[in-house]
């Protein structure tokens, strides 16, 4: 897109230079000293050339504006994607820290004592035993 915009600006610059030349030729022809102003084929040709160049310049400016708007939209999208990647990277780092903490808290199977209730931190008594009161 950036290359296309540069190319459009170069074409626009060339057309503007051509328009200046055409304007100069038309003005020189219009204001000739001691020559009557006549509307002949050359005058119509120069006028038509100026109108064509002005129309071409308007089209190039419109294309450049559209390309610039598209490029701006792409930059906004890129920024949005980079922001999302930053959020996701941060979330992934946080998840990895949580997983590391969980790994430290997990009790290995060899050390697991089924009689200890891990939630209440109390001992589970067998169901069939009853305390006898004296």
Q: Where are the alpha helices (DSSP H) in the chain?
A: 2-30, 41-105
Residue numbers of the domain that contains 62: 1-107
Q: Is residue 118 part of a domain?
A: no
Does residue 124 lie within any of the structural domains?
no
pLDDT tens digits, one per residue of 43-93: 889 999 999 999 999 999 999 999 999 999 999 999 999 999 999 999 999
Domain count for the chain, please give it.
1
The per-residue pLDDT for 123 is: 56
Q: How far apart are CA 33 and CA 55, in angstroms?
A: 31
Considering the entire predicted model, what is its pTM?
Answer: 0.60
Pick the range with the lowest mean pLDDT from 82-91, 107-116, 125-134. Answer: 125-134
């Amino acid at each position: 897109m950036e290359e296309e915009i540069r190319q459009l600006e170069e074409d626009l610059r060339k057309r503007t230079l051509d328009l200046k030349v055409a304007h100069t030729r038309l003005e020189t022809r219009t204001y000739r000293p001691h020559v009557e102003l006549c509307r002949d084929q050359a005058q119509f040709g120069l006028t038509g050339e100026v109108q064509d160049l002005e129309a071409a310049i308007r089209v190039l400016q419109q294309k450049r504006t559209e390309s610039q708007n598209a490029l701006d939209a792409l930059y906004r999208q890129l920024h949005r994607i980079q922001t999302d990647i930053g959020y996701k990277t941060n979330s992934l780092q946080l998840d990895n820290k949580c997983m590391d903490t969980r790994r430290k808290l997990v009790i290995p199977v060899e050390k697991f004592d089924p009689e200890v209730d891990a939630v209440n931190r109390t001992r589970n008594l067998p169901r069939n035993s009853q305390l006898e009161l004296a």
